[in-house]
Amino acid sequence: MTKLDDHGTSVLLFIDMVNGSFSRFAKEFGNFLLTAVPQCIFGSTEFVYQDYLHAYFSSAASAMEGSNWNTMMEVTAGDGRSDIFTHDEEKGAILELKRYTHKKKEGYHEKEKSLLSKGTKEALDQCDTRIYRAKMPKGVTTICEYGISFLGPYCGVAYAGKGRRKVGHTMRIFR
């Protein structure tokens, strides 16, 4: 198994994401966005954010010893397409992204906070209503779903932990 001290920020952020360490993941993801993401990405289309995060988390997963993570983008799952989908044999994470435009001169106030909150809720609801977790392989029993919204360099993160119990040879989804 991977020793946490042997890895950098990207691997630790990935581990927090797939383990459902929501508070730490949300805080560190916000820091990552403000300090490590190239400024030219802010204000781009949702696909640019999606592509950057897919590459980032794919690299983080492959940097872990004995890693068997499969990280994909735009996966047909349930009743739609999930933005980022990652899993190993037992754990998985689904990230649904929403992007909003922001004029720098407007600043960041209650209106922008409200928009980010709305976006994270919509993204998380979309994971649930479109049943993206149904695409997870049968052995995956812990699923972390994230709704992430972007407004320029700001982000909002929402989380729902899902799981499946083994019942004989089948799995049942529970909340």
- 26's enclosing H/E stretch is helix 22-35
- pTM for the full predicted model: 0.85
For residue 56, give the amino acid letter: Y
Residue 73, beta-bridge partner list = 84
Which token pair is 126? Answer: 């979309």
Rg of the chain (C-alpha set): 16
Residue range 58-68, pLDDT digits in tens: 999 988 877 79
- Domain region containing 165: 4-174
Residues 6+ apart with CB under 8 A from 113: none
Task: Give how many domains the chain has, as a whole number.
Answer: 1
Residue range 5-62, pLDDT digits in tens: 445 788 999 999 999 999 999 999 999 988 888 888 877 788 888 999 999 999 999 8
For residue 17, give the amino acid letter: M
Whether the CB-CB separation of 149 and 159 falls below 8 Å is answered with no
